[in-house]
Amino acid sequence: MPKGRRGAKILIKSTELGFRLVSVLAGNLHNRAALTKMNSDKGNVRVSLVGAGVFGSYHAAKIAAIDAAQLLGVFDPDSARAADLASKHGVGAFNAFEDCLAGADAVIIAAPASAHFALCRDALSAGKHVFVEKPLALSAAEARSLAVLAAENSLVLQVGHQERYVCAAAGLFGRDRIPQRIECVRNVPYTGRCEDVSVVLDLMVHDIDIVRRLTGAAPVTVSAEGDETRLAAEVFLSSGTIATFNAARASASSDRRMTLVYEDGVIDFDFVRRSVSNSTSARIQSMFADAAAPKQIRDPLAYGAQLFIDGVIAGETHGVAGDDAAETVAWAEKIERAAGVRSQSRDRIGEVRFG
């Protein structure tokens, strides 16, 4: 960074164990955000990717396929992994986090969840639009502070709650009735990823977001039991709905289902088999496994990536916004507390690899 240049200076030292935030010097963020908007208006939105793991590779492919976006490069503390992913898309690998911010209009963060807060905070402080995988942060206070930072500086902050798009396209949110009971199951085999946070913020957070959007209600009482890898919770909502959540990340097979019990019938979604059964009067999309299904159902990650780029160009968040996602984190925090488990954000990521 040239001497005398105003703005946020961020240095993250890369080691084989992770990264550590060294310093942040805030600058004129409103001017930086305006400059980013002007740059994206003139042509492609320039996007840097943080994280070269499994989800990082997915995001790289989606951004590379969008005509209005340009993938600048990839940063990961594992330099070999960053170089490998970058080479697949004909771009460079950044040696440091500050390098991926310089010249970018926007940043996609596909790092461990415990790093989301620090990376989002520093990218927003540098005047960059941000797409971050769920969860936005690991505490409601952190998540809300990020939403405020983005709003104050006119920056897009979009969170990767992709399954909300699937439910919206299926017609789930179009009913004028609220379910009496909602049963959520999300069990997956062991992968070794996302172990820096509890199963609540790893898996259950998907269902929390859908239930929030479906009911528009607030939790009144929360009970939960389990541990970091397997947990069950029951939440009584202000709407009168009872929502149960079961999540595990060391199951023999994948089982991801949601059952919605209404006074006029039941809707069952199977997210693994891409099927739905419906005995209510609601008109529900049934083409989950059909090639003619809406893009939100066929490829929700690509749909969300397009929303992000469109939002950066328009100067407003088109996907799940930071303030919305922060309330999902608040629910997750209550469930963790009820079960006696805790996930904690860190500026240093020990032995956790970007995923």
Fill in the amino acid letter for 169.
Answer: A
Cα separation, 353 vs 355, in Å, equals 6
Q: How confident is the model at residue 29 (pLDDT cuts 50, 70, 90)?
A: very low
**Looking at the DSSP assignment, which residues form a beta bridge with residue 231?**
226, 247
- The Cβ of residue 220 has, within 10 Å, a number of other Cβ atoms equal to 11
163-183: pLDDT as tens digits: 999 999 888 898 999 999 999
Cβ atoms of 129 and 107 closer than 8 Å: yes
pLDDT computed for residue 181 by the predictor: 98
pLDDT computed for residue 43 by the predictor: 57
pLDDT computed for residue 272 by the predictor: 86
pLDDT computed for residue 81 by the predictor: 96
- Quick one: how far is CA 269 from the chain centroid? 22
pLDDT computed for residue 7 by the predictor: 33
Range 258-280 average pLDDT: 92
pLDDT computed for residue 276 by the predictor: 87
Cβ atoms of 33 and 106 closer than 8 Å: no
Cα separation, 271 vs 172, in Å, equals 13
**Does the pLDDT value for residue 351 go beyond 50?**
no
pLDDT computed for residue 297 by the predictor: 85
| Three-state SS letters, 10-68 | EEEEEECCEEEEEEEECCCHHHHHHHHHHHHHHCCEEEEEECCCHHHHHHHHHHHCCCC
Q: How confident is the model at residue 287 (pLDDT cuts 50, 70, 90)?
A: low
182-224: pLDDT as tens digits: 999 999 998 877 788 999 999 999 999 999 999 999 999 999 9
pTM above 0.75, yes or no: yes
Cα separation, 184 vs 205, in Å, equals 11
